[in-house]
Chains A and B, each alone.
Chain A
Amino acid sequence: MAAQEVASQPSDTLTTLKTESETLKTKLEEERAKLHDVELHQVAEKIEALGQFVMKTRRTLKGHGNKVLCMDWCKDKRRIVSSSQDGKVIVWDAFTTNKEHAVTMPCTWVMACAYAPSGCAVACGGLDNKCSVYPLSLDKNENLAAKKKSVAMHTNYLSACCFTNSDMQILTSSGDGTCALWDVESGQMLQSFHGHAADVLCLDLAPSETGNTFVSGGCDKKACVWDMRTGQCIQSFETHESDINSVRYYPSGDAFASGSDDATCRLYDLRADREVAIYSKESIIFGTSSVDFSLSGRLLFGGYNDYTINVWDVLKGTRVSILFGHENRVSTLRVSPDGTAFCSGSWDHTLRIWA
């Protein structure tokens, strides 16, 4: 490995700020501890436990030539877009398993992809440090790559992207430690979000009435909630012991779950401003790569680096089921828009639909 040059830092201000940060954090913890709180699973003791859980692979999508890194659902509840390490981005009708569009990106490791709300375009990016939007043409002869629009530009790899409420804006997160909001037509950066001390690996938009916030997770073990209008970090949570690979809002928007390399998933409540549940088990050793909730928020699905998918009872904190099937790391997992199924993508080159 090449030797890295480290730029000299203004160490005094950095140390002072760090000390100040630590003091504030301790004070915060003291204040929180003063409230005698009951854990979520204790409140949930009275509700019925979930019965035997049976979920099977209903579709297997084969066609990628290398590790599948990311996927997203179309709002029509049956189409998906997926991206892989070899630079291919494929749009499938997951119901029939037919491939409808395919794009070859000029870079490898396409770590992020997203379906536009209208269903007319997809966005993707990765090691090229950019996020590009491809309008989906139904003309079989048309080369999709020709109409590509370069939207976002970061100074390090693109880790995640998603459209906001329309096709006109994209939110991105990057290995350069920042998130940004972009106007698709002009490629202009509308807002940038600074605060993570390391790579940002994931993000999710809040399903709130005002639709103005989003959460991000990074290699600094922090999950941050941001105001999209002002660029400010509103809240921050730091209880994970390793990189946060995935964040997803609870359907009501009052909380979010996170999945990390420390092999746990955690639930953070935004109103109480703290972690309210941990989903972990001694036999689960490998990190969580992706998490998502079922429609009612009762179940949390986690894709893990040991090739399995674990299903958690969000309220009781117990593991309901473990799903085997993938032959390599599960890298991405999303529940369909109407909650009828979820899709998992893996380094074994396939995607599976489970229901």
Chain B
Amino acid sequence: MTINTLSQDGVQRQQMPCLTKMERMIISMQDPDMGIKLRNQRLLITVIPHAMTGLDIVEWLIKKCSISDEEALHVGQLFVKYGYIYPLKEPRNLILKADDSSYRFQTPYYWMSTRWPASELDYAIYLAKKNIRKQGELIEYEKECYNALHKRINHTWDFVVMQAREQLRASKQRRKGDRIVLECQEQAYWLVNRPPVSPEHYKLTTLTKNTIAMLTPWCSLKYIGVSNLNGSYVKYCEQYQPHDPIMQGCLPSNPWITDDIMFWNMNSETYMFIVALPTKLRVERWSFSFMELLNDQMGRKEFLTYLEKEFSAENLCFWQACEDVRHGETAKIPEKVDEVYKQFLAPGASRWVNIDSKTMEKTLEGLKRPHRFVLDDAQMHIYFLMKKDSYPRYLKSELYKNLLARAIVPQETKKSVFPFMRRQRHSSPSPALATQTAEDDGKAKYSNSNSGTASRL
């Protein structure tokens, strides 16, 4: 939903789709065979035709949509709130009650979709009618509106009064029953749609650009059968389900439920907490994908230790340096790229990375005019090298297997049974504090999980 009321080509935007949906449902509610059974309802001394009880409405909704009482009441409430159904006994109280209170369908003439936005002039006429019919019948809100309108459209006030008198005269000629129904309908309409006294003015903008829809070369895309892919969703969900606290809970407990922050402390990534041993779930997750390993600060550190043993640590360092270029400050790109070249790409560099000659040639060429993405190809090459070679070997290594064996499975902490023994909710140091003291040297500020390793250049 946007606050702009006109579409791009200056046409009034169509009404909210929820109104169309509501109207469709209202129509099926009034179906002579499958709809709600209407009957005459007594209102004081008059008999109002075609009415129903609140309970009728709720029961019909329960049956039609297969929902619970609570939800049916909630949905029915919306119909009353938007003026499609109005209460007979307490018209100002736009609430649906699931008992024998009487309700009626509003006539389509007064539906929100056909009459929105409500006109000031119509409202003025309505208020004038009420005022003429019975002095002092206007409530506080209506008095305010009446005075405001009287001031604002004073030049047409004669017309307003004349219209009001005409409409009152015409209604006197109707049968009492009809007159009451019409008055109820009108009253209900204005209770829902009355213009605010001081309307909020949305900012209206004139559209200065004409945007033509971009056409992309669709036909060059390859099509993959969906049935091949649907299995991948199931696989992903099943793999991650034990890690999903909302689905399966988490150990020792969900901090939001028990007020115990052990879960956060045990899985911490910041320098505030030095975690001795990680949890089993955390270490297992590193085996799901290379990205999972790199996204976890501890995982990344472990992987670096492994690479050092293999004498290929420069790959990870290079990758990190490229990330820093890609996401860092624009002004610092040339000097960062230069540093990367000196450390990793130059012939005889201290931490030379092994890139294929074609990529190296292309990268070196691009370095003459360094930009944010100049190292992308080289970075991609090294990334996939690690992913296809070092990463799988790491998962099979003693280093990883030992850690997995030693990793802990926390004991469950139950929620405190006694309300007065609720755990104190401890505050934690703000991340803003953690890096405020660190040097600000234009390095890309990541979340704390990366800040340590990013400064390894």
Write the residues of chain A forming the contact surface with B, with a CB cutoff of 8 angstroms.
1-2, 4-7, 9, 13-14, 17-18, 20-21, 24, 27-28, 31-32, 35-40, 42-44, 47, 50, 55, 58-59, 74-79, 93, 95-96, 98, 100, 109, 116-120, 127, 136-138, 155-157, 159, 164-169, 175-177, 183-186, 188, 190, 194-199, 201, 209-210, 219-220, 229, 232-236, 241-243, 245, 250-252, 254-255, 261-263, 269, 271-274, 276, 281-283, 285-287, 289, 294-299, 305-306, 308, 314-315, 322, 324, 335, 338-342, 353, 355
A174 to B335, CA, bound (A): 34
Name the contact of A272 in the complex, choosing from B225, B236, B240 (C-beta under 8 A): B225
Is A197's CB under 8 angstroms from B447's CB? Answer: no
Name the contact of A315 in the complex, choosing from B227, B237, B261, B448 (C-beta under 8 A): B237
Q: 1/0 contact trace for B263-276 toward A, CB 8 Å?
A: 11001001000000
Contact A233 B227, CB 8 Å, known A157-B203, A241-B17: no
Is B22's CB under 8 angstroms from A285's CB? Answer: yes
Is B67's CB under 8 angstroms from A283's CB? Answer: yes
A255 contacts which chain B residues (CB < 8 A)? 233
Is B330's CB under 8 angstroms from A186's CB? Answer: yes
Q: 1/0 contact trace for B62-93 toward A, CB 8 Å?
A: 00110100111011001000000000000000
Is A127's CB under 8 angstroms from B203's CB? Answer: yes
Q: Give the Cβ gap from A52 to chain B, nearest Cβ, in Å.
A: 13
Q: Give the Cβ gap from A81 to chain B, nearest Cβ, in Å.
A: 12
Is A190's CB under 8 angstroms from B372's CB? Answer: yes
Contact A298 B244, CB 8 Å, known A40-B233, A44-B234, A306-B78: yes
Which of A40, A120, A194, A339 has the most B CB atoms < 10 Å from its CB? A120
Is B264's CB under 8 angstroms from A77's CB? Answer: yes
Is B430's CB under 8 angstroms from A79's CB? Answer: yes
A43 to B208, CA, bound (A): 48
**Residue B277 at the chain A interface, CB threshold 8 Å:** no
A119 contacts which chain B residues (CB < 8 A)? 430-432, 434-435, 447-448
Q: 1/0 contact trace for B423-450 toward A, CB 8 Å?
A: 0011110111111100000101111110
Q: What are 26 A-to-B residue pairs whose CB atoms are below 8 Å?
A: A7-B210, A18-B213, A27-B219, A35-B223, A43-B234, A93-B427, A100-B430, A117-B447, A136-B432, A138-B433, A165-B326, A165-B327, A176-B209, A188-B330, A197-B212, A219-B2, A235-B216, A243-B1, A286-B18, A295-B246, A296-B240, A306-B74, A314-B233, A324-B70, A340-B254, A341-B245
Is A185's CB under 8 angstroms from B446's CB? Answer: no
Is A261's CB under 8 angstroms from B1's CB? Answer: yes
- New A-B pairs, 14, CB < 8 Å, besides A14-B212, A35-B223, A138-B432: A7-B208, A9-B9, A44-B233, A79-B430, A185-B329, A198-B211, A261-B16, A272-B226, A283-B65, A286-B78, A296-B244, A299-B244, A324-B70, A342-B246
B241 contacts which chain A residues (CB < 8 A)? 296, 298
B263 contacts which chain A residues (CB < 8 A)? 340
A168 to B333, CA, bound (A): 12
A168 to B36, CA, bound (A): 60
Contact A79 B255, CB 8 Å, known A165-B323, A324-B74: no
Contact A269 B74, CB 8 Å, known A14-B212, A138-B433: no
The binding surface of chain A is classed by DSSP as loop
A2 to B203, CA, bound (A): 11
**Residue B204 at the chain A interface, CB threshold 8 Å:** yes
Name the contact of B330 in the complex, choosing from A31, A185, A254 (C-beta under 8 A): A185
A354 to B119, CA, bound (A): 42
Is A117's CB under 8 angstroms from B445's CB? Answer: yes
A50 contacts which chain B residues (CB < 8 A)? 247
A138 contacts which chain B residues (CB < 8 A)? 430, 432-433, 436
A197 to B291, CA, bound (A): 35
Which of B223, B264, B290, B435 has the most A CB atoms < 10 Å from its CB? B223
Is B431's CB under 8 angstroms from A298's CB? Answer: no
B244 contacts which chain A residues (CB < 8 A)? 294-296, 298-299, 339
A176 contacts which chain B residues (CB < 8 A)? 209
Contact A17 B213, CB 8 Å, known A118-B451, A190-B372, A283-B71: yes
Is A55's CB under 8 angstroms from B246's CB? Answer: yes
A271 contacts which chain B residues (CB < 8 A)? 224, 229
A287 contacts which chain B residues (CB < 8 A)? 1, 16-18
Q: Give the Cβ gap from A23 to chain B, nearest Cβ, in Å.
A: 10
Is A164's CB under 8 angstroms from B216's CB? Answer: no
Q: 1/0 contact trace for B5-25 toward A, CB 8 Å?
A: 111111000001110011001
Is A272's CB under 8 angstroms from B255's CB? Answer: no
**Residue B112 at the chain A interface, CB threshold 8 Å:** no
Name the contact of B446 in the complex, choosing from A165, A183, A282 (C-beta under 8 A): A165
Is A166's CB under 8 angstroms from B3's CB? Answer: no
Q: 1/0 contact trace for B390-409 toward A, CB 8 Å?
A: 00000000000000000000
Q: Which 10 A-B pairs have the closest CB atoms?
A: A119-B431, A6-B10, A296-B240, A296-B244, A166-B327, A43-B230, A355-B256, A283-B65, A166-B444, A37-B226
Is B446's CB under 8 angstroms from A117's CB? Answer: yes
**Residue B205 at the chain A interface, CB threshold 8 Å:** yes
Is A199's CB under 8 angstroms from B4's CB? Answer: yes
Contact A243 B2, CB 8 Å, known A6-B9, A195-B213: yes
A273 to B219, CA, bound (A): 12
**Residue B221 at the chain A interface, CB threshold 8 Å:** yes
